[in-house]
């Protein structure tokens, strides 16, 4: 027959000993507490000394516990700081990207303002412009080089008018429609511009080559040579183009020709100015005759 599973403590010696020592511990604790209570009432000084001794005895344990708590707090703070630092780094990186975007936008605005100021300076110093319009396209191949301007004869644009940008001469109006016009660029094979070298004023002729370059030829003397880096501006000879507008810079020299790059690149221009044809003012000095006798 199987033994019952629920047996009383009296059937186990180990359980009896455990119960006995539990009673002894409880009674001892109560007795000690009673003695401490009586001691605190009868001899407060002695009770204070006893508390000091107990405090001294438990000081290492208390210090060790406090150290463990502090280290745990420091570890938690370090982990929290690391997590916060990662978040702050991400915030700083996002802020840096935003600042970089704003910096690029500010530089673009500064460039645009400088370009518009140059255009404004041209309109203030020179003749009153006919129109300020956008260059919407330009040809990049073939010997004929043209650009399309979004202004036409309704805006006052006429055939033959010079076109310039902030940097220099762009070309000449080849044909004008109602709201658009075709500009023959200075690199076009049929464009010829009277120029002079800066600063000595040596006269020359600039002719477009049709491949993005300009051929510079000296006038009147075959032994005149140009060198790389020479700058040429319009001379104003023959009218049409106003004087002192930058045209080209010598980039390559050969035995038979001097090839230059245009100062104003139409592919890099947004806006251009259409001006009236230049008309040189001829000063006529009239001789002042003495009055006739009797007058």
pTM, two decimal places: 0.55
Q: Which of 120-124, 131-135, 137-141 has the lowest mean pLDDT?
A: 120-124
Question: Do the domain assignments include residue 241?
Answer: yes
3-state secondary structure of 7: coil
Question: Do the domain assignments include residue 6?
Answer: no
For the chain, give the mean pLDDT: 76
For residue 125, the surrounding DSSP H or E stretch is helix 44-125
Question: Do the domain assignments include residue 202?
Answer: yes
Question: Do the domain assignments include residue 40?
Answer: no
What is the pLDDT, as a whole number, of residue 175? 92
| Residues facing 238 on adjacent strands | none
CATH classification of the domain holding 137:
2.40.10.340
Question: Do the domain assignments include residue 72?
Answer: no
Quick one: angle between helices 44-125 and 13-42, nearest 10?
A: 90
pLDDT, tens digit, for every residue of 173-219? 999 999 999 999 999 888 999 999 998 889 999 999 888 899 999 88
- Beta-sheet pairing, 146-149 with 192-198: unpaired
What is the pLDDT, as a whole number, of residue 287? 45
The b-or-e profile of 176-187 (16+ CB within 10 A means b, else e) is beeebbbbbbbb
What is the pLDDT, as a whole number, of residue 286? 44
Could you give the number of structural domains in the chain? 1
Query: Phi, psi at residue 110, to the nearest 5°?
Result: -65, -40
- Domain of 136 in residue numbering reads as 131-274
Question: Do the domain assignments include residue 199?
Answer: yes
Question: Do the domain assignments include residue 155?
Answer: yes
**250/231 Cα distance (integer angstroms):** 7
Which has the higher per-residue pLDDT, 141 or 211?
211
Q: Is the pLDDT of residue 288 over 50?
A: no
Question: Do the domain assignments include residue 35?
Answer: no
pLDDT, tens digit, for every residue of 97-131? 777 666 666 665 665 566 555 556 554 555 688 99
């Amino acid at each position: 027959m199987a033994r019952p599973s629920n047996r009383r403590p009296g059937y186990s010696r180990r359980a009896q000993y455990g119960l006995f020592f539990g009673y002894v511990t409880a009674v001892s604790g109560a007795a000690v507490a009673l003695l401490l209570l009586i001691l605190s009432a009868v001899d407060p000084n002695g009770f204070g000394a006893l508390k000091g001794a107990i405090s001294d005895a438990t000081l290492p344990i208390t210090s060790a516990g406090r150290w463990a708590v502090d280290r745990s707090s420091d570890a938690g703070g370090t982990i929290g700081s690391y997590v916060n630092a990662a978040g702050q780094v991400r915030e700083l990186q996002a802020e840096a990207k935003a600042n970089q975007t704003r910096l690029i936008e500010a530089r673009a605005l500064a460039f645009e303002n400088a370009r518009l100021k140059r255009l404004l300076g041209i309109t203030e110093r020179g003749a009153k412009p006919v129109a300020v319009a956008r260059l919407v396209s330009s040809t990049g191949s073939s010997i004929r080089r043209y650009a399309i301007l979004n202004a036409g004869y309704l805006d006052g644009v006429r055939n033959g008018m010079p076109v310039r940008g902030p940097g220099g001469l762009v070309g000449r109006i080849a044909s004008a429609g109602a709201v658009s016009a075709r500009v023959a660029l200075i690199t076009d094979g049929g464009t010829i511009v009277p120029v002079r070298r800066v600063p000595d004023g040596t006269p020359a002729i600039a002719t477009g080559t049709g491949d993005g370059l300009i051929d510079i030829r000296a006038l009147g003397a075959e032994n005149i040579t140009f060198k790389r880096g020479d700058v040429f501006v319009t001379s104003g000879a023959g009218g049409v183009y106003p004087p002192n507008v930058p045209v080209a810079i010598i980039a390559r020299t050969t035995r038979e020709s001097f090839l230059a790059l245009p100062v104003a690149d139409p592919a890099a221009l947004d806006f251009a100015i259409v001006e009236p044809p230049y008309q040189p003012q001829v000063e006529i000095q009239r001789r002042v005759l003495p009055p006739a006798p009797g007058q």
